[in-house]
Amino acid sequence: MRETERKILASGIELSFKEGEYLYRKGQDAEFVFYLKDGAFELRDEHNKPIVIDGFRCFLGLEEMLSDKKHRYGVKVLSSAHVLVFEKSLLNTLIYEYELAQRYFMLKMCDYLAFHEKVYE
């Protein structure tokens, strides 16, 4: 699985973000998926207490992209950060053409749910 992860991450475009910038806002179309490499981020919506992600490498926007939904929350950068950005079309190609990529993304979604202490059934 490490080789699959290496290949997937190598296909992302690395971008830097400054404190106060947003990766995306709630309600925006999920056209990109973000892999958090480093930095601190805050997941915000108007109903719940913000969730802070600091030093946890994970994908954001994957669930919404896979289900063709708009983003459920906004992601604000709390400290300078580096992320990998993946276009929806690229991830769709990887997922539909490579079985190991399908498994990899399912595991990453489960990791993300576990981080937020949510149950996946």
CA pair distance 41, 69, nearest whole angstrom: 21
All residues at 6 or more sequence positions from 61 whose CB lies less than 8 Å from its CB, including other chains: 23, 24, 30, 32, 33, 34, 71
Identify the CATH number of the domain in which residue 83 sits: 2.60.120.10
- Domain assignment of residue 81, yes or no: yes
Q: Is 96 helix (H, G, I), strand (E, B) or coil?
A: helix
Residue 16: which H helix or E strand, with range?
Answer: strand 13-17
Is 44 part of a structural domain of the chain?
A: yes
> Does residue 66 lie in a domain region?
yes
DSSP 3-state assignment of 6? helix
CB–CB of 11/86 below 8 Å?
yes
What does the pLDDT look like over 71-112, one tens digit per residue? 989 999 999 999 999 998 888 887 777 777 777 777 766 766
Domain contains 35: yes
| pLDDT value for 115 | 60
Q: Which helix (H) or strand (E) holds 36?
A: strand 32-38
pLDDT of residue 80: 94
Reported as a single tens digit per residue, the pLDDT across 38-67 is 999 999 887 878 889 998 888 888 888 888
In a domain, 120, yes or no: no
Q: Which residue segment(s) compose the domain that 89 sits in? A: 2-115
Domain membership flag for residue 121: no
Give the chain's domain count.
Answer: 1
